[in-house]
Structure 1
Amino acid sequence: MASNLLEIPFRRTHSVDLASAIKQYISTKYDQSPDMFADDLRDIDRLRNDAINVREPHVSGVKRLQIYVAQLRYLGGKFPIDIGVDFPWYPAIGYDRDKPVLQNNLRFELANVLFNLAALYSQLAYATNRTTTDGLKSAAEYSIAAAGTFSFIRTDILPDMRSTPPEDMDDITLESLQQLCLAQGQESFWQIAIKRNMSDGTVAKLAAKVSDYYIFAADAARQSRAVSTEWIHHFQAKHHHFAAAAQFRQSRYCLQNKQYGEEVARLKDSLTCVNEGLQEARWINATVVGDLNGLKSRVNEELKRAERDNDLIYLQTPTPKSELRLLDRTNMVAAKTPADIVNGISLLGEGKPFGKPMFEKLVPYAVHQAASIYADRRDRLVHQSIIVDLEGMTARLREILQSLDLPGSLQALEKPLGLPGILVSKAEELRQQDALYRIKRSMEDTTKLKTNDLAIYQEGVAFLEAERAEDDRARAKYGTERWVRPPSTTALAKLYQTSNELQTYLNSAASSDNLVQTKFRENEHILKILTGTNRDLERFVPSSSQVTMTPAIEQAASRLRTCLNEVSRLETRRKNRIAALKEKAKSDDIGPALLSEAARLEREYPMQKIEPGQFEKLFETRLQGYEPDREALVTEQEEQDQIVARLREANKAFLDARRGDTGTKDRQKALQVLDTGYAKYKELISNLDTGRKFYNDLAVHVTRFRDNCKAQVSERRVEASQLEAELAGQDMGRLNLQETRRELRSQNAAPQTRSQVQPQPPGDIQEAMTAPVPTRNPPAGGVLPSTSPLPVGVAGGTISGGGIWTPDMGIRFGGATNQPGQAGYPAPRRP
């Protein structure tokens, strides 16, 4: 049965294996076993099927949809948005409702289910018995709930969806639907006022606000690519209808208050509004047309009476249109989101209306993110702020020793023949570690990691470059005015930024790798000697002539040896400190504290999604535990400075005591080279360990980058395919129109004998061809052009010249100019 209201249809979908996707994700990304959640995995598909099978306007469907919405919002705190399943949803309105949109996106699923909940509210309002006051109240409440649900999608869901919504779910389309629901809710209150015989002034204010909401809906719809022209005509007809109704009621208020001149003016304006509404008659249903005609009949009768009475009795001058006061508005509706949607998560729990929350014992995804963030910060603090400084102190200490030719000069004096014991022990350490093989193997491992990281990174870059090339080709093919989606660098700006950052890391790491390789080449020959036999060392270290150890030399050597022993103890203590610090960081498990904090947040803020940023205070508290280690760096540096000062002083005394002695110079130099080679080996091992750790950590980031590129490029390609199909359809329509024009031209070029037709009497002239109902909004701005005046030679909807159309006449849709039913959208009126 036809109605003067609209109901919003459901979006359609079909079943997906959500449980398997969640199970796979838990098994690969979490430390918990999927078997722990067997009941939840079974129930999640049942809940979804219950929700998507709501197909009738029955109140029982509201709770089924609300429960699934609450569970989806709760899961948003447990899982990432791209859970691993493509949710297919078919558009509810628009022009291409047979092709689904697929997105691997939990927020997309949530937005669609909420859309269906809003549609259900609108259908319940449509189906409610409107012959009673209680029925009208229920209809108004359902309309308000529908508008509030659309508002919730716009403000709370779409901004965090991270992907482009379908055409019939973009912000401007949802705004149009929201305004439609508010208009129909306000209309219910208008009907209640009439049933209760409220004052004409009150009814006029309610009607004026109904008119406003309908034109708001029309304004938004004209900017949408999905709202049909039939609906836009409906909005405009209702806007004019209620503008007329408001003026009609206000005229009766004027009559009651003896304002006869204003009464006549408002009735005239009411009649004008009705006639403007009837211009939409061709595209709207018979019920709406009947309402307009009924109102027009009443207004005509009242206008005749008012003009007669005023002309004969009251003799008041009708108020000019420009002086009519704008009507006041009484608003009875607002886009209020139902509490069961806003507070849905708080209704989950044992014994609560929406049942037990699913995957309750699964650690929230944000906790895993927070643990990773804390580990990165902790390792960065420990390594860059403490260990790097300690190793820098040790490196500077070794540089000082090398510049002083220590300990080589002392070893050459203390043991002029054979090999010093400390050198033998260092050489033995390198032999046991197979130093050369260890370095080469580490370099090969690092190269493999680097190559793998680079290949994964280049895969992601290739996705971006291919998508950008496809988008550029399509934009060049269709033009920027038709290819309206944002370019790749804008739509995927975050991925391009990540790509640049990763390229910077890789370039910096390549420079470091080159430095390590250069250091190895420069010291390889010394390492070969150190890892050889003792005989190789003896051949490299020459013996020196016997030096007479005077008391002064012996005393200076003893003092210098004491200082060198202090240096050795300092290095050993520092090495142990670094090892202890690494162990401290390794055993620093923030997991239990994060779980405790997450439980507190879920308990105190049940409706709030847990985000990693909520653990910042906990991070700061935990990282304070490393503050004493940072403060100890100052003491460590001061102690080293004191030891170095004593070492320099002792070395100066030692050199002074040995002034003039050149017998140990060659031996001293050889021992120093070997000692430096040992130190360089330690540096190389440390550098290679750092590089290996860097590339292992980088693998996580480049893999995530590649996967994000693949997913978002896939979404962009689906979006491009849909847009291209739509443009191809438009091109086919233009092709058909051009073919029609060619046929008409060929008819016009036929032999003149076929065109020499005697003029028909005016009453027999053919009417102009009526255009079909528009089926698509124009692409630019979404506003249909107003009908242009008839061309020269066309009058009253007829074609002169024997009824033959020629190209210079243009195409004329519908009847004569300014006749009811002409195409185009007139400017809105405010009563």
Structure 2
Amino acid sequence: MASELDKLRRTACVKALDRTETSLAVLTKYHDQLVKIQGKIPFSMKDCAVTFAWKDPFEKKGAFSSSKGKIAMCSGDFEHLCVLWNCAALMSQIAASQMEDDEGAKEAVKNFNRAAGIYNYIKDNVAGVLNKETPTTDLLPTTLTTLSVYMLACAQEQIYQKASRGGMKENVLAKLCEQAYNLYKESNRHSQQISKDLVSYSSTKSKYFKARAQWHQAKAHQNDKLFGEMISRLRVAEGIVKDLSKESQKYKTFYNDVKNLREEAEKENNFIYHCVIPATEKLEPIGVAAVAKAWDVNRQRPFVVDFFEAVQPIEVNEANSTFETKKKAFVDGQIERIRDLTTTLNGVLRTMHLPEAIEETSGSGVPRSVADKALDVRVKGGIDKIKSLSNNIPDSLQRNHDLLNEAKRMLTAEQESDSSLRAQFGTRLVVSPSDQLTKSLWTDCQKYEGILQKAVEADSIVKQKIEDNARGLELLSGTDDQLNEAFPSGSVANVLSDNPVIKELKTLCQQSEALKNERDVIESEMRGATVTMNIEFCQALQEQGVINAEEMSQDKLENAFAELVSQINDSADRQESVLANLQRCSQEFSMLKKSGAAEEERQKVLSQINTAYDSFRELCSNLEEGTKFYNDLTNYLLRLQGKVSDFCFARKTEKDEFLRTQTNIASEAGNIATPSFLNQAQPPPSPAPQQENSGPPARPPPPTFQQGPPQPGGVAQHQQPSGAPVPAPRNQPPQGPPQGGYQPQGPPPAYAPQYQPHGQNQYQPPHNPHQVPYAPNPSGAPAAPYPQQNYWNQQQQPAYGNPPQQGQNPGYPSYPPQGNQYQPYPNQPGYGNQPGQPNPGYPQGGYQPPYPPR
């Protein structure tokens, strides 16, 4: 999405565009994308730091101006206004090339009107967008007003030209010209800030249309036989056009037309009409016909594919979250109501041993309803499915506990490190304390811990239900033979099958099953209902500026689920009637049946199986929901753990930067304290292990190299350091590689890892009086590398070859150290930055993660 928008912006704002409709389409497409992402992407230095620059096209080099030549702001609204400005400018350029015929003039008027509307929109909104920023000349209110009026003047001129070619009446043409004169005159008032050419052009046009208005009004008077007013207006027009003809020859023809008509009118008036010629100031004003009007900017937003369709304004996201929460609570409440009704109905049926007590049985003794239930349980997986799902629950629970505990451990470790660093550096550590930055993270941890506790309680209830119904579930999941053996033979229903009470009970049992099936369908429809309010929230935000999520969500839910809620209410009413009839018929049936010990045992098994079947359905639903719950919770905890990890990594980066800053400050001041490892007493070296004669042959010696004259005895002589080692000069020129070569004898020794000081448990190398650890070797020979890491003061042996002699390099020769060489700063827990130092890590304002969904 972002790459597509960036590509579109580069095409629209960076590349040079020609004056065509295609280029305008590119600009308007980019503008439409900016409109669609308004409110979705918060352009600011804190959230989305993207700076947009704008240069003044009217900037005059060397001229004094109180305005700026360039503005750079991190504001999406500013970019929107700048793109609109470019759209208006391109529209005016396209319109200027479309004035050859009537169809072109129509399109030119459209573009001029749109440009005028854009300049008005920018003028009304630029102050709020720039805030305290000084505007450039082109964004000044006076400049924008001038440009808007000038666009309308150009549009009015095109309307006049088209009307003139169409043979419009003279008085209408006069009004069109009078409006054009007023517009050009208004645009001329502040044109000096834009261009001298615009000042001259608008002045000439205003005079021309003033003369044209008098010309057409004079011809209208001629048609009305008002020769006195006609002559007076022609004299006014002639005086204006005479001055214009001196400035430009293109007005010479119009001047001659006015002059000839005025002479002819005076001649006829003197010889024929003898009308009084009124003074100029006594002429009636010419009316105006304001046909050119600025368009609304909203009309310039055609439908385009939204690159950020999935991204919503923050207000809309919050409203959607509120709606989803209310929707879930509403649906769960209705489903719980449905299940309560079904549970009540099942309980009554189990108490009355229905419908098994009234069913006729064959020789096997298993009621048909029981056989159907057993078949249903087997098809759905039986007790094996229950065990499989229940066995996965503890693993999922433990996984979530581990994720939460790991997040809490990282937060605790980070807070302890921060406290230790503050205790050591005091006020020099100016970053915010960890306990302030991690409040929201600890709140999330506590919330998830409470959720897990409730989940454990729910799991125990489900586990107990499985244990209570284990025998019945095994019978339903077993074979038909096992089920037959569990049922005692004999049935009262075989004897009383034609009794009206039995028939009515059968009918009521069928109605009960129908009610349960209807509720299953209602529950499925409620869970699968797709109800969203994204469009409504966006419209409310656009029209009202705010979203009343609570009220809108409640109304939407009531309307969307009105039919289903009505069906639930009807089902509840019918259940009350069925239960009342069941109670009456059950009492009558108890008086009819005569049961012995076998019948009582049979009723006991029936009750056990019925309870197990209802429990099976509930357990399947509960365990599947529990598995989904733990899987979803795992994703939330992984997200939380990622936030905590990012936070701790950012704080660790601050720690490293702070420690480096403290090391540099201490080094530059010459106050490097002797590292603690130089003052530690070293234990005697452990004796070299004895090699037996039966072992492998002696390993070849390490590689040797020569640099300069050899030292006596073949061993380099090192000076004994006194106190802390002296750092190398800061501006020491780099030394080249050693001049002498080396001839390794046998296989090269393996490289040992070079460990840098890190964390609180970093390794402190032992003090070696025969080796200068950091300063370059003054003899020019390659310096020995950093001492190999020895854990718990154990001698580190090379991979093969004889143990290196004191002062020799056990590995390949390395180049001398480049630049500054300093002692590592002593172990310092925690982290932070010095005041004034850049912070490459976590922002100082605190870590505020979004609250995870419930």
Same fold (TM > 0.5): no
- Greater relative contact order (Cα < 8 A, sep 6+): 1
Question: Which band: TM-score by shorter chain?
Answer: 0.3 to 0.5
Q: TM-score, normalised by structure 2?
A: 0.44
Flag the structure with higher helix content: 1
Q: TM-score, normalised by structure 1?
A: 0.45
Which is greater in Rg? 2
